[in-house]
Structure 1
Amino acid sequence: MNVLISGASVAGPALAYWLRRHGFTVTVVERAAQLRDGGYAVDFRGEALDVLDRMGLLEEVCALDTHMGDAALMDGEGEQYATLPAVIFAGDLEILKGDLTRLLHEATRDDVEYVFGDSIAALEQDDTGVHVTFVHGEPRTFDLVVGADGLHSHTRALAFGPEERFIRHLGIYTAIFSLDNYLGLQNTGQLYSVPGLAANIFSARDNTEARAALHFASDPLDYDRRDVAQQRRIVAERFAGEGWQVPRLLWEAARAQDFYFDANAQVEMDRWSTGRVVLLGDAGYCSAPTSGRGTSQALIGAYVLAGELAAAGGEHTAAFEAYEREMRGYVTEHQQAGREGAERFFMGTPTQEMLDMIAANTPEKARAQVVGLGDYRPAAHLGRPGAV
C-alpha cells in the first residue's frame, strides 16, 4: 500500500520507519524547506524506551542524553532559594528535539520518499484511495493519508473541520529559543517563577549551548502564527520589568533564529480517523508540553498504528479501530497529566513542602521498566540491523 504522511518531526518519521518495515510504500511531505533543528529537549518515558529499542535506536538516543542535573530556583535578585530534582524535567531519558528528528530522518531517508517545502492543499476520498492536491507538487493518489503535522494540523482541518472544534487551551503560552550558554551552566538549569510568569534556561549540547523558555498565563490570544515579529512583541510586553535574567533573555529572544511561540493546548477528538485518513501524535491527541509525554506518545502511537495496519493486512477500517482501542488509555492518562501540570505550572515561591510533594508524585522518579506493548513483528528482511 502507498501511504502519505504529513509532517516530518517525530510522529511522521517514526511511523514511516515502521510502515516500511511492514512492507508499505511511504511518502512524507513537510511544509518546512528542511528538517527543523530547533526546539527544546524532549523526554522518553516508559514504553517509549521499548519502542526505541525495537527500532535499534535506543543506544544512539542514550548517547545524546542531556544528562540534566537538578535545576536551581532563582529569585528576582539572582539568588538561589530552592532546588528541583532533574527527574521532574528530564523524565527517564532526555535529548534535544532536533537531535531526535535527525536520528529518525537518518533511519528512514534511504527507503522513504521525503518531500520538503510542500504541503497538502486538498483531500478527496473515494473507494480507490485519497486524491491529494499539493500546494506546489503535482496531484497524487494514495491508499491512506496520515496527519502527523502537530497541534495545528492542516490535515485534521481538511478531513475533520476547523481546529477550534478540537483544541482545549490550558491557559499558558510559551516561547522557546536557542542561545549561548552565557551563564556557564554545567548539565543543569535555572528557573524563575512568579504568579503568571516563568522563565528558565538549561545547558545543551555538552554545555556548549543553552535553551531558554519564557512562559506566561493567558486566555487564548488572537495573533498571526506566522508573524514571528508580532509573537516576539507579545512576549516582550508580558515580561517587561521582570528581574533575574529576564532582560537578557528578551534580548536573546529578539535575535534567535529558531524562536518558537505557541499555546500549551490539547487536542480532544471522539475519533482519530475518517475513511482513509487517520491522525497520529499531536495532530490527533496532543497532551500538551505540560504533560511531558508528547514525544513518548508519538513514538508509541506510530508503533501501534503501523502494527495494526500490518496485522489487518492493510484493511484500514479495522486497523484504525484497533489503533484507537490500544491508544485511548495512554492518551487519557497523558492528557490528565497535562492538565495537572498546567494547574501547578506557575509556582511563585514554593515552600519546601510543595517541592517535596512534587518530587514524591513524579512517576519518573525511579527509572521506568520497559514493558507492555504488543509485539508487531515486521518482515525480517526489511528490518534495520539491531531492530526487531
Structure 2
Amino acid sequence: MTSVLISGASVGGPALAFFLRRHGFTVTVVERAPAPRPGGQAIDVRGAALTVAERLGVLAELRGLRTHMKGTSMLDGDGNELWRSTEVALSSGRLGGDDIEVLREDLTGLLHERARQDVEYVFGDSITSLTQDEHGVRVTFERSAPRAFDLVVGADGLHSNVRGLAFGPEREYVRHFGTYLSIFSTDNYLGLADWQTWFNDGPAGGAVYPVRGNTELRVNLGFQSEEPIEYDHRDVQAQKRLIADHCAHVRWEVPRLLKAMWAAPDFYFDSMAQVHMDHWSAGRVTLLGDAGYCPSPLSGQGTSLALVGAYVLAAELSTAPNHEAAFAAYEARMRPFVTLNQALIEQNREAMEHEPTEESGVDHAKNAIRLPDL
C-alpha cells in the first residue's frame, strides 16, 4: 500500500487525501497550524471544480453555504460612488450563475470533515527535511519523530515549505505583482446587506462585504508598491503595521477599519503573486495548488485550480504504473489549464479600474480541462 505525506490542510491537501484514501493509499496530512485555519476571504468554486466538489460529496452543502451578493459598488477616496452593478461582483464575477462563492473557512471545514476518516492528521507540525532514495522519502519534522513515506505532496501554499526543500529558494519561482493585501473580520457596523463596497485612493484601497447573514464584515485592505517589500510571513503584528502605514492616508471609513484591524484575531496578509515552474515534481515529491502553480487571488481561480489539481493527481496516481508516470501525466493534463487561468489576472486588474461586464475570459478558462476517470 502506497503511503503519501501531504503538507497542507487547506483546500488541495484534504481533497487529495480524500480521493487517495478512497483508492487504497495510506495518507498522512501535516499542517503547521494547530487546527483548520479560520477566517479568510470569499473564494470561488467554478467550472470543472464544481464537478470535483460533486465527486467529493460536498457540492450540495457548498450551495447551501454560498454568499448571496446582490451587487457591488466602487467608491473614490472620499466615498463618492464611481459606479455600481447588480449584474457582476468583483469578487465572484457574474451573479446568478452556477459558480459558487463561499467563505474560505466554510469550504476548508467541509473538506476536513470529508477527508479525515481513515486519514492521519498531524496539526501543529512542519517538515524540516526531505531525503529521497529508490525506496521512498525520509522526512524529519519540527516536533514529530522522523518517518518514511513513498511519496510527498506539497499543498502548502504560495510560500511552500516543501517547494523550498525539494526545489530551492522561493525567489526562483514566485513572481510578485507589487500588490499586498490583507483580510480580516469585524462587526457589520456599516449595515451592508448582501452588497460589496470597493474603494480606491491612489496606491491603496480595498473592499468590505457582509457575511454570516449580514452580521459580520470581511475587510480587505491593501496597497501597491513598486519596490518589493520584505516582511516576515509569520509576524502578524509586523504585517498589520505595514497595512497601517500604507493605508494611513486613505479616507472614507478606512481609519475605523484600521482600528478594527488591530483587534481582529483572524488577520491574514500576503503579496499578490504567481508561481511559475518548469516542473512540479522532483523524484518522489510533487506540488499541488498554490505551491506549484499559484494563479494569485487576482485571478479568482486559486481554489478551483487546487481542487481540480487534487482530483487529477489522485486519478493519475491511482491508474499509472508508477509515480514517475503519474506525475508526468498530472503535469501534462494540468499545465494548459493552469496557463489559461493564470492569464486571467490582466482582465481582472482592468475590472478594478472600470465597471466590469458580464463577459469574462473565466467562462472559458474554468472549464478548459477534461477530467480523467477516478
TM-score by length of 2: 0.94
Letter in 2 for 1:227: D
Distance in 1 (CA, whole Å) between partners of 2:367 and 2:62 is: 15
Shift of the alpha carbon at 1:136? 0.3
Mapped contact 1:130–1:144 kept (Cα < 8 A): yes
Query: Residue in 2 aligned with 1:284?
Result: 292
The structure-2 alpha-carbon separation of the partners of 1:212 and 1:231, relative to structure 1 and needing over 3 Å to count, comes to same
**Alignment deviations for residues 329-360 of structure 1 (CA, whole Å, 9 cap, x no partner):** 11101111124434x3752xxxxxx42xx314
Q: Structure 1 residue 371: deviation in Å?
A: 8.6
Give per-residue Cα distances to partners, 1:135-154, cap 9 Å, x unaligned: 10011000000000000001
The residue that corresponds to 1:241 in the other structure is 249
Residue 270 of structure 2 aligns with which residue? 262
Q: For residue 130 of structure 2, what is the amino acid of its counterpart?
A: L
Tell me, yes or no, if the aligned pair for 1:195 and 1:346 is still in contact at 8 Å: no
Partner of 1:26, secondary structure, is: strand
1:78 offset after TM fit, Å? 3.0
Q: Residue 299 of structure 1: which of 302, 307, 312 is its match?
A: 307
Alignment length (residue pairs): 366
SS in 2 for 1:184: coil
Q: Could you tell me which residue of structure 1 aligns to residue 33 of structure 2?
A: 32
> Residues 89 and 196 of structure 2 are in contact (CA less than 8 Å); yes or no, is this contact kept in structure 1?
no
- Cα distance in structure 1, aligned partners of 2:217 and 2:33: 24
Relative to structure 1, the CA distance from residue 97 to residue 369 in structure 2 (aligned partners, 3 Å threshold; closer, same or farther) is: closer
Aligned: 1:183 with 2:185: no
The corresponding residue for 1:359 is 357
Deviation at 1:225, TM superposition (A): 1.7
Which one-letter code corresponds to 2:345 in the other structure?
A: G
Q: Deviations over 1:295-352 (max 9, x none)?
A: 0000000000000001114x1000000000000011101111124434x3752xxxxx
Other structure's SS at 2:182 match: strand
- Indicate yes or no: 2:171 matched with 1:173: no
C-alpha displacement of 1:103: 0.2
Residue 68 of structure 1 contacts residue 86 of structure 1 at CA under 8 Å; is this kept in 2? no
Please give the alpha-carbon distance, in whole angstroms, between the structure 2 residues aligned to 1:326 and 1:88. 29
Match of 1:381 in 2: none
Cα distance in structure 2, aligned partners of 1:236 and 1:14: 36
The amino acid that maps onto 2:78 is E
Task: Determine the structure 1 residue equivalent to 2:96.
Answer: none
- Which letter does structure 1 place at the counterpart of 2:91? F
Distance 1:47 1:59 in 2: 16
Tell me how far apart the structure 2 counterparts of residues 169 and 241 of structure 1 sit (CA, whole Å): 24
Q: Does the residue aligned with 2:371 lie in a helix, a strand or coil?
A: coil
Give distance in 2, aligned partners of 1:114 and 1:365: 36
TM-score (norm 1): 0.90
SS at match of 2:344: helix
1:112 is matched with which residue?
A: 119
Name the CA distance, whole Å, in 1 between partners of 2:310 and 2:206. Answer: 33
Give the distance between the partners of 1:210 and 1:74, measured in 2 at CA: 17
Identity %: 52
Counterpart code for 2:357: A
Answer yes or no: is the 8 Å Cα contact 2:130–2:139 preserved in 1. yes
Asked whether the equivalents of residues 66 and 206 of structure 1 are also in contact (C-alpha less than 8 Å), the reply is no
Judged with a 3 Å threshold, the aligned counterparts in structure 2 of structure 1 residues 132 and 287 are, in CA distance, closer, same or farther, namely same
Name the structure 1 match of 2:80: 79
Task: After superposition, give the CA deviation of every residue in 1:23-47 in whole Å (9 maximum; x if it has no partner).
Answer: 1110000000111011001101111
Change (3 A) 1:55 1:283: same
Deviates more, 1:240-249 or 1:172-181: 240-249
Q: Contact 2:301–2:341 (CA<8 Å) still a contact in 1?
A: yes
Say whether 1:207 aligns with 2:196: no
Check if 1:374 corresponds to 2:371: yes
SS in 2 for 1:105: helix
- Paired position in structure 1 for 2:345: 338
Higher relative contact order (CA 8 A, sep 6+): 1
Quote how far apart the aligned CAs of 1:201 are.
Answer: 0.3
In the alignment, does 2:327 pair up with 1:327? Answer: no
Q: Give distance in 2, aligned partners of 1:154 and 1:17.
A: 22
Q: Residue in 2 aligned with 1:350?
A: none
- The residue number in structure 2 matching 1:132 is 139
Contact 1:278/1:320 (<8 A) preserved? yes
CA distance in 1 between counterparts of 2:366 and 2:145 reads 47
- Measured after TM superposition, the shift of residue 9 of structure 1 is 0.5
Q: Distance in 2 between matches of 1:263 and 1:77?
A: 26
Separation of aligned partners in 2, 1:75 and 1:174: 18
Cα RMSD between the aligned structures? 1.8
- What is the DSSP-based 3-state SS (H/G/I as helix, E as strand, rest coil) of the residue aligned with 1:359? coil
Deviation per CA, 1:235-262, whole angstroms, max 9, x where unpaired?
Answer: 1111112211111111111111111111
Give, in whole Å, the separation in 2 of the partners of 1:125 and 1:369.
Answer: 36
Which one of 81, 86, 102 corresponds to residue 109 of structure 2?
102
Q: Confirm or deny: 8 A CA contact 2:74 2:81 kept in the other structure.
A: yes
Return the offset for 1:69. 1.8
Report what 1:89 is aligned to: 91
Asked whether 1:250 is paired with 2:252, we answer: no
Quick one: distance in 1 between partners of 2:105 and 2:267? 14
